[in-house]
Structure formats: C-alpha cells, structure tokens
Amino acid sequence: MGRSHARPRYIGRFAPSPSGPLHSGSLLAALGSHLDAHRAGGDWLLRLDDLDLPRCRPEHAVAILDALSAHGLVPARPVTRQSEDTHRYAAALAALEARGLLFSCDCSRRELAAAGASEPCCLRDCRTRRPSATDAALRADLSALHPMSREDRSLGAIRFDPALHRDVIVRRRDGIVAYALAVVVDDAEAGVTDVVRGGDLFEGTGWQLALHQALALEPPRYLHLPVVVEPDGTKLAKSRRSVPLDEDAASRNLEQALGWLRQPVPAELRAGDIAAGLAAAAAQWDIARFSGLAEIRLPG
C-alpha cells in the first residue's frame, strides 16, 4: 500500500505582539485566522510574539488575552510565548552558521534609508570585511539559495528571488532575534500549516520562504487579509482610531470585522450569542468575497 499524501490537519494561529492592546484592525486578523481554521475543521492557536522585550508589556499581554476571550476567540491549546522558549532560535542560528550563511553587518538604518534601496539588504562589503559582532546585526546570506514562489490565497504570488532578497537580518544589533527568523521557527515548532494574517506582512514573506529553505522546513500556506487604513492610507495601528476594543461591545465589534471582510453577519451574532455566531460565521466563511483586496480604507 502506497504512502498517503494527504495534507496534514489544518493548524492555524494568531500571533500578536503585546506592545499595545488589541484594536479593531488586529481583531480583524484574529477573527479571519480563527474562522479560516474552523471552516477547515482545524485548530486555532494563540502565540504572543514578545521577543522585543523593551516594547512588550505584561499588562498588554493580559489585555490581549482578555479581549480575545471576550470576543469568543479561544485557542485549541495553551497560549505560548516566544520569550519562554528561546533555545529554538539559538539552534536555528547554529544551523545557519553550519551552512556558512551568517555574517555580521554594521550598515545602519540611516544608511539603508538614505540609499533608498527597494529591499533592506546589506549595502556595503560586510560579507568580506566581517565587522565586529559587538555593534552589528547578524544577517543570513541568501544569495546562493534557489528562487521560490508560493501562491497567497488572496493576494497572488509570493516570491523569493536571491538576486533581490540577497540577505536578511536574523538577529538585531541589540541581540534580539529578528521577526523573520522567529516566526519561521515558531510556526514549524507548532506544526502550523496555514498562516492567516494582515496584508501589511505580505512584502516580508519572501524572506521567510528563504529561511524555510535554508533551514530545510516546509513553508505553510499563506492568506494575507486586507489591512484597515485611514483615509490617507495610514495604518489603523498608528492612528487616532487605534483604541482598545470595548469588550462590552464584542458582538458589535465582530459584526464590524465581518463586514470589513465582506462576510455575512449571522443572526445569532446580531442577537448577542457570540459562540453560536462564530460557529455560523465559520460555516459561511468564504475568502473569495475579499480575494485580491489589500486594504480597507475607512471613510473620512
């Protein structure tokens, strides 16, 4: 009897950074990932991406967990925190080092900004000069990897081009492991098969495909949801309307998020039954309703 090539059970996740409370834009991402997982009969996990300790606060983590619970968004497993299990990142860095891919880079943010480069890669001769690691970021050299392409379920092709994405920061100057590496390692550890998140992260996904390749990991499927922006294009997270969610208005908040995602609002949710409303919304979930939509621009 031959091997089964059936896709593994769907495992999705929501991974907010506790640098502030949950707002309506981040609720959209949480709800979309939750509904996609439940529509597929899978599990929805919750991870707090809290490696950036100077910006993350315990009170924000508590507020996020409380807000998600109030909106009926309950994970299938205990909540995980990046900061509680950092040995995985050291192992990933060691694996990249064993392949000869790591180099120190002392190009500054100011230099990168002044150069106006289309991609934030090393600008100078850091690969060969090998600056001191004490005041430098650590980058992974991606130039020898193979080109890769994956189809996002809404926004089209995600591409890694080693000529364009020549390298990526994997550990910052301050010693904190970079998001691009941490998210690849964490998702692989949890067995995540599907990443559903905001479209503001779409452009950086090419580097994550490369790190999957460099670490011999299978990339998940991706679905990038539309991002809520102000009339001038400013991200909601950076605007005056980025206020903590009113937990007493959970049904109304969920209705608004469903409307932004062009999904029907179940009668159960309108009646205030959040659990039944979410179950009905999952049964009706259809990403074709927002396919190709990169942003939701609020009225002025």
Based on the domain organization, do 62 and 100 belong to the same domain? no
Based on the domain organization, do 75 and 125 belong to the same domain? no
Give the domain CATH number at 114: 3.40.50.620
In the numeric block, the tokens 């990526």 are attached to 168
What pLDDT is stored for residue 53 in this prediction?
87
Last residue in a domain, options 142, 162, 190 = 190
Based on the domain organization, do 103 and 58 belong to the same domain? no
Based on the domain organization, do 19 and 66 belong to the same domain? yes
SS3 237: helix
What pLDDT is stored for residue 47 in this prediction?
98
Ramachandran area for residue 216 (φ above 0: left; ψ -120 to 50: alpha; else beta): left
Domain count, the chain: 2
Beta strands per DSSP E along 84-215: 102-105, 137-141, 148-152, 156-160, 167-171, 194-198
Based on the domain organization, do 120 and 74 belong to the same domain? no
Give a yes or no: residue 237 inside a domain: yes
Cβ atoms of residues 225 and 29 within 8 Å = yes
Give a yes or no: residue 204 inside a domain: no
Give a yes or no: residue 203 inside a domain: no
- CA distance to 38, 76, 78, 162, 192, per residue, from 8 (Å): 15, 17, 21, 29, 10
pTM (2 decimals)?
0.92
Give a yes or no: residue 218 inside a domain: no
Based on the domain organization, do 125 and 54 belong to the same domain? no
Cβ atoms of residues 143 and 164 within 8 Å = no
What pLDDT is stored for residue 59 in this prediction?
95
Instruction: Report, as ranges of residue numbers, the positions in the chain whose pLDDT lies below 50.
Output: 1-4, 239
Identify the domain containing residue 101 by its residue range.
86-190
Based on the domain organization, do 159 and 245 belong to the same domain? no
What pLDDT is stored for residue 180 in this prediction?
96
What pLDDT is stored for residue 243 in this prediction?
74
Give a yes or no: residue 3 inside a domain: no
Give a yes or no: residue 236 inside a domain: yes
What pLDDT is stored for residue 111 in this prediction?
80
Ramachandran area for residue 174 (φ above 0: left; ψ -120 to 50: alpha; else beta): alpha
What pLDDT is stored for residue 113 in this prediction?
73
Give a yes or no: residue 197 inside a domain: no
pLDDT tens readout for residues 170-220? 999 999 999 999 999 999 999 999 999 999 999 999 999 999 999 999 999
What pLDDT is stored for residue 6 in this prediction?
60
Residue ranges in 71-108 assigned as alpha helix (H): 87-98
Based on the domain organization, do 103 and 168 belong to the same domain? yes
Based on the domain organization, do 270 and 245 belong to the same domain? yes
Taking all residues of the chain, what is their mean pLDDT, rounded to a whole number? 92
